Amino acid sequence: MLKQTLLIALFAGISYAGAQTKFQPQDTEFYEPVPPVVKTSRTAAPSDAIVLFDGSNLNEWVSEKDGKSPAAWTVQEQVLTVKPGTGGIVTKKNFEDFQLHVEWKSPEVIKGEGQGRGNSGIFLQGKYEIQVLDNDDNKTYTNGQAGSIYKQQPPLAEARKPEDGWHTYDILYTAPRFNSNGILIKRGMVTVIHNGVLVQYNTELQGTTEYIGLPKMVAHGAGPIAIQDHGDLVSFRNIWIRELK
Q: Which tops the pLDDT comparison, 71 or 43?
A: 71
Given a contact cutoff of 8 angstroms between Cβ atoms, the answer to whether 185 and 177 are in contact is yes
CA–CA dist 22, 96 (Å, integer):
45
Q: In sequence order, what are the beta bridge partners of 31? A: none
User: Which tens digit of pLDDT belongs to each residue from 113-154?
Assistant: 999 999 999 999 999 999 999 998 899 999 999 999 999 999
Category of 76 on φ-ψ map: left (φ > 0), alpha (ψ -120 to 50) or beta: beta
Q: How far out from the chain centre does Cα 197 lie?
A: 14
For residue 243, the model assigns a pLDDT of 98
Category of 11 on φ-ψ map: left (φ > 0), alpha (ψ -120 to 50) or beta: alpha
For residue 20, the model assigns a pLDDT of 61
Q: What integer best gives the mean pLDDT of the chain?
A: 92
Query: Is the predicted pLDDT of residue 41 greater than 60, yes or no?
Result: yes
Q: How confident is the model at residue 8 (pLDDT cuts 50, 70, 90)?
A: low
Given a contact cutoff of 8 angstroms between Cβ atoms, the answer to whether 224 and 90 are in contact is yes
Query: Is the predicted pLDDT of residue 107 greater than 60, yes or no?
Result: yes
Given a contact cutoff of 8 angstroms between Cβ atoms, the answer to whether 32 and 4 are in contact is yes
